């Protein structure tokens, strides 16, 4: 039976946080109320990896994280506390930027003849004929010829092998091509040593054996087996000969030295060039990757090569260790990273569950393995019904909660504030469309061209479509993908392989693309649409090409959307940055409570065990930073006045350059929001804190500017613009030079953050009591004002958190009145202890009432009275148990002083919440204060007065008694 988590906590493993560190925090996490640790990838990855998503060997643990014994200690620490472990599985790709990836190195050495050649999604017959049976490696820092003649490519001998070194990179040299080296100068060596000398005879025998190796172009199993057997023998013989005979050792060294060339003598590199041309890879300047790379990547990252997980051999080999960990009970659930990158996600997920059904103990759950997927759902999109998963990792939940604290009624006013500061801006949908087109032009043009040629071959098969030109087909593909309303569709081979949802999305995309391109023949659009909507059948070459086109099309729309929208448009559109979040839609300016209730009810009915996230390693901003920014939606006029005043005060710190005034208005607007959100709750007390904060903001802004790709980029950094931004940040954060700005800013920021506290507490309570499994990102149990990675991967001070938890335990042991201690925490809320205390109380309550939250009905509650729009309330019902959650929202209109505590009658007036009780005078216990609240009758309804509910706590979790 699948172990369903009650709550999860994400741990980010790296060299600064290892297995032994994780073992040490399990006790703290269990005491906090966490039931399952949710681990970042910890299989062997590229050395020095900060995240673990660049796995190089799925068959072993990452040695940088600790030994197997230390991993075992971590596992035992979890099991002793009854805690589960969710493993993050990277199924779509591998890291190839390291020679320790044996699969990839074997492919580079043996080309199509490698047994691992089919593991990677490589096009061995690409459009460029020079790449036939080769892999393009765009890793050079300059054009190939320049790198070669600068002697940056160097051959080295390594125990019977010859390898090519390029700084930290190492590439294999195919054994049969080594004869080019070892025969260069051979005549002189023979004359010097004599042809009859035993070591000379052995060397010549080795050279003969090299010439008889089966070609790497031959892929028949017998030939591949012979090649591997014989090359192993040859290497062993060469290693022995070099080790035992100084003359041979000197000869090999001299051969390599000659081949490595002499700077300033171009002809001296001819031999090395011939040798490299004979390899199964082609080294190239990294800038050519977008147009010519012939292996599928993770998005546009050259160092991450996609796997063909649809092949049984790849699936089995990649999951051996994972299955061992599951079968032993070490791992109790899986999180599948980037499920949209897979060829057939439904098939992959079903294979996981099929394995679990046969290998794990049977149970009563819908599926034997707790399985969630990292999947970003578009507006009104649901997971495909056939997927055998418990849900997603929770981005759609984050978006729902986020929207609840944005004032939808002020959208136009925020538009005006934005336009007043930055001038006329593109609507977001236009910007997203343009950014997706940009990605297909500069980052993923190779993938689009390959897809276009596939489409061209299909068009040639029908007389009705053969007149469509290649360029027109590529243009139409680009337009359809740029207009795609979701990340991808999930069409599968077979008559029933097309879901209704996918049919709708394809029609929408094609119709929108047509409207945007009235000058392009609609026949071409219809041709592509009909191909996508025609059931895939394998009936010869035509069926195979049709299937290949449709499946590749689906694998392209997702990375284009991710790179174009999340990683470009989100960094250009600055109306309200709290909406520019993974899984969110900046066009959706807030949500009315009825829609949130509806979505929560649907969630309880369909995916009650999906993760409920408010922060992840991929979110653009920390969860409490977002709630601060959402406050701005309530005060758009004041925000406009503030930003215009700040612009005037800080104008003197700007620079003029080729791009005009620097930083540009849009980037300055984004910076002010970032400062409002990220400003430390305790302020900046000393020079060290100010410098650290400045560095964080500078690092974030440079990343944001480069991701936006407007003024600078990762590919083409503009040092002048970036330096101008850096100087501007330094100036406005200088307490001496910018004292006027900082004084004005601090007063405004303090007020905004005071409101943000209420929404942060409300947000975390909703996460713990609404349908789903509450998921906590490491460190976010205190205030989380982090920015996008790497800022959100900074080390977590678990010693501080343990000390705070011990303080809570001592208070409880001493029998201190709960309400009085809560008052103390609220008064001192800047230190974040109030958030952690709320999490502690609610998680333990949730563990004591697990059936209620796992299976309980979700019931929206009616709020009546003059402040009804400022409350959100629901009940969870299961058998005779009932709880009520009530949180405030949009407080600026009713609470002039955000430091006011408690929120009593003066705030809530006659507002009341209808609760699930049928007897007059029913009693509810406030879980967070211990207070007993009695309902009052209003006709046939039982009501709790908001003034009493919030008398001593700004959020409420109530338990029905009796």
- Report the C-alpha gap between 113 and 115 in whole angstroms: 6
Which of 747, 780, 740 shows the shortest CA–CA distance to 899?
Answer: 747
Q: In this predicted structure, what is the pLDDT of residue 112?
A: 94
Q: In this predicted structure, what is the pLDDT of residue 907?
A: 87
Beta-carbon count within 10 A of 406 CB: 27
Which of 282, 279, 263, 284 shows the shortest CA–CA distance to 181?
Answer: 279
Question: What letter would DSSP give residue 215?
Answer: P
Beta strands 881-888 and 956-960, pairing class: antiparallel
Q: In this predicted structure, what is the pLDDT of residue 540?
A: 55
Give yes or no for a contact between 505 and 484, defined as CB atoms under 8 angstroms apart. Answer: yes
Tokens of 50: 């900060």
- Report the C-alpha gap between 845 and 857 in whole angstroms: 17
Q: In this predicted structure, what is the pLDDT of residue 683?
A: 87
Its sign, for the CA torsion 727, 733, 737, 741, is positive
Q: In this predicted structure, what is the pLDDT of residue 902?
A: 64
In 40-150, which ranges are E strands?
43-45, 55-61, 84-89, 93-95, 135-140
What DSSP string describes 677-715?
A: HHS-TT---SHHHHHHHHHHHHHHHHHHHHHHTSS--SS
Q: Which parts of the chain register pLDDT below 70?
A: 1, 363-364, 538-542, 901-902, 904-905
Give 366's contacts (C-beta < 8 A, 6+ positions apart): 388, 390
First to last CA, the chain: 34
Which of 494, 509, 585, 607 shows the shortest CA–CA distance to 554?
Answer: 509
Give 696's contacts (C-beta < 8 A, 6+ positions apart): 678, 787, 791
- Report the C-alpha gap between 762 and 744 in whole angstroms: 28
Helices 833-848 and 818-827: crossing angle in degrees, nearest 10, is: 140
Q: In this predicted structure, what is the pLDDT of residue 538?
A: 64
Residues 307-339 have pLDDT tens digits of: 999 999 999 999 999 999 999 999 999 999 999
Tokens of 817: 């009145």
Beta-carbon count within 10 A of 795 CB: 12
Helices 246-259 and 186-193: crossing angle in degrees, nearest 10, is: 160
- Report the C-alpha gap between 140 and 908 in whole angstroms: 65
Residues of 807-828 as b/e, b for ≥16 C-beta within 10 angstroms?
ebeebeeeeeebbebbbebbee
Q: In this predicted structure, what is the pLDDT of residue 932?
A: 95
Residue 902 preceded by cis peptide, ω within 30: yes
Give yes or no for a contact between 672 and 646, defined as CB atoms under 8 angstroms apart. Answer: yes
What DSSP string describes 802-832?
A: HHHHHHHHHHHHTT--HHHHHHHHHHTGGGS
Edge-first strand order for the sheet with 161-166 is 154-158, 161-166, 169-172
Q: In this predicted structure, what is the pLDDT of residue 901?
A: 65
Which of 625, 953, 628 shows the shortest CA–CA distance to 791?
Answer: 625
């Amino acid at each position: 039976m699948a172990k369903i988590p009650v709550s999860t906590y994400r741990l980010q493993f790296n060299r600064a946080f290892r297995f032994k560190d994780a073992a040490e925090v399990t006790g703290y996490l269990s005491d906090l109320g966490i039931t399952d640790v949710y681990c970042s990838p910890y299989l062997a990855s590229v050395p020095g990896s900060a995240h673990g998503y660049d796995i190089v060997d799925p068959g072993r643990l990452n040695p940088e994280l600790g030994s197997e014994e230390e991993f075992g200690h971590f596992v035992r620490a979890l099991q002793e506390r009854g805690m589960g472990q969710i493993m993050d599985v990277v199924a779509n790709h591998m890291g190839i930027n390291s020679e320790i990836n044996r699969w990839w190195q074997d492919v580079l050495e043996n080309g199509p003849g490698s047994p691992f050649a089919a593991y990677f999604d490589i096009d061995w017959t690409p459009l460029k004929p020079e790449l036939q049976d080769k892999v393009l490696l765009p890793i050079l820092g300059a054009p190939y010829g320049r790198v070669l003649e600068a002697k940056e490519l160097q051959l080295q001998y390594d125990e019977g092998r010859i390898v090519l070194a390029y700084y930290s990179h190492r590439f294999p040299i195919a054994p049969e091509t080594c004869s080019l080296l070892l025969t260069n100068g051979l005549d002189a060596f023979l004359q010097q040593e004599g042809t009859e000398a035993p070591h000379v005879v052995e060397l010549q025998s080795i050279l003969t054996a090299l010439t008889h190796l089966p070609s790497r172009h031959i892929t028949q199993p017998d030939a591949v087996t012979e090649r591997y057997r014989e090359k192993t023998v040859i290497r062993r013989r060469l290693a022995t000969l070099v080790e035992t005979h100084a003359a041979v050792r000197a000869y090999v060294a001299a051969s390599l030295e000659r081949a490595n060339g002499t700077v300033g003598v171009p002809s001296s590199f001819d031999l090395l060039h011939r040798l490299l041309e004979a390899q199964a890879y082609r080294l190239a300047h990294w800038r050519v990757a977008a147009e010519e790379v012939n292996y599928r990547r993770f998005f546009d990252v050259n160092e991450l090569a996609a796997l063909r997980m649809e092949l049984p051999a790849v699936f089995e080999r990649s999951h051996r260790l994972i299955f061992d960990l599951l079968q032993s009970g070490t791992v109790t659930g899986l999180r599948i990273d980037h499920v949209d990158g897979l060829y057939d996600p439904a098939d992959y997920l079903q294979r996981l569950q099929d394995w679990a059904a046969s290998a794990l103990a049977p149970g009563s759950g819908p599926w034997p393995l707790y399985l969630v997927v990292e999947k970003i759902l578009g507006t009104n999109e649901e997971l495909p019904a056939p997927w055998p998963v418990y849900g997603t990792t929770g981005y759609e939940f984050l978006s729902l909660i986020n929207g609840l604290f944005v004032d939808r009624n002020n959208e136009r006013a925020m538009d005006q504030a934005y336009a007043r500061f930055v001038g006329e801006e593109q609507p977001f949908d236009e910007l997203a469309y343009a950014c997706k087109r940009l990605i297909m032009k500069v980052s993923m043009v190779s993938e689009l061209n390959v897809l276009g040629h596939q489409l061209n071959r299909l068009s040639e098969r029908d007389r009705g479509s053969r007149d469509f030109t290649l360029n027109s087909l590529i243009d139409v593909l680009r337009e359809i993908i740029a207009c795609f309303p979701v990340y991808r569709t999930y069409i599968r081979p077979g008559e029933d392989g097309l879901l209704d949802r996918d049919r709708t999305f394809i029609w929408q995309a094609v119709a929108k693309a047509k409207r945007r391109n009235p000058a392009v023949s609609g026949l071409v659009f219809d041709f592509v649409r009909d191909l996508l909507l025609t059931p895939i059948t394998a009936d010869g070459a035509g069926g195979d090409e049709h299937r290949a086109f449709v499946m590749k099309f689906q694998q392209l729309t997702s990375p284009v959307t991710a790179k174009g929208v999340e990683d470009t448009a989100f960094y250009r559109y600055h109306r309200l940055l709290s909406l520019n979040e993974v899984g969110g839609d900046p066009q959706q300016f807030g949500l009315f409570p009825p829609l949130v209730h509806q979505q929560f009810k649907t969630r309880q009915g369909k995916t009650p065990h999906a993760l409920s996230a408010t922060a992840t390693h991929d979110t653009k901003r920390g969860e409490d930073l977002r709630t601060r920014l959402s406050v701005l939606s309530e005060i758009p006029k004041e925000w406009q006045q503030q930003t215009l005043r700040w612009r005037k005060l800080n104008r003197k710190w700007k620079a003029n350059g080729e791009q005009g005034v620097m930083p540009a208005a849009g980037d300055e607007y984004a910076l002010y929001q970032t400062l409002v959100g990220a400003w430390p709750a305790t302020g900046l007390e000393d020079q060290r804190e100010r410098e650290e904060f400045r560095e964080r903001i500078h690092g974030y802004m440079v990343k944001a500017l480069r991701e936006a790709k407007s003024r600078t980029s990762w590919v083409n950094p503009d040092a002048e613009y970036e330096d101008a931004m850096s100087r501007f940040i330094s100036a406005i954060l200088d307490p001496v030079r910018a004292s006027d700005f900082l004084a004005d800013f601090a007063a405004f920021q303090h007020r905004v953050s005071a409101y943000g506290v209420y929404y942060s507490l409300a947000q975390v309570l909703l996460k713990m009591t609404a349908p789903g499994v509450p998921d906590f990102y490491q460190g976010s149990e205190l205030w989380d004002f982090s920015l996008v990675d790497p800022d959100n991967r900074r080390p977590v001070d678990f010693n501080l958190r343990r000390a705070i938890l011990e303080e809570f335990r001592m208070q409880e042991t001493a029998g201190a009145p709960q309400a009085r201690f809560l008052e103390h925490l609220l008064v001192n809320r800047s230190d974040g202890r109030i958030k952690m205390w709320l999490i502690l109380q609610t998680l333990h309550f949730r563990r004591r009432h697990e059936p209620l939250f796992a299976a309980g009905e979700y019931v929206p509650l009616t709020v009546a009275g003059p402040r009804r729009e400022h409350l959100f309330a629901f009940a969870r019902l299961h058998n005779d148990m009932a709880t009520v959650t009530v949180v405030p929202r949009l407080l600026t209109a009713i609470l002039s002083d955000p430091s006011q505590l408690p929120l009593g009658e003066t705030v809530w007036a006659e507002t009341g919440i209808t609760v699930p009780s049928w007897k007059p005078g029913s009693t509810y216990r406030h879980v967070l204060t211990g207070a007993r609240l009695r309902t009052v009758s209003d006709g046939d309804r039982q009501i709790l007065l908001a003034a009493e509910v919030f008398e001593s706590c700004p959020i409420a979790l109530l338990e029905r008694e009796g």
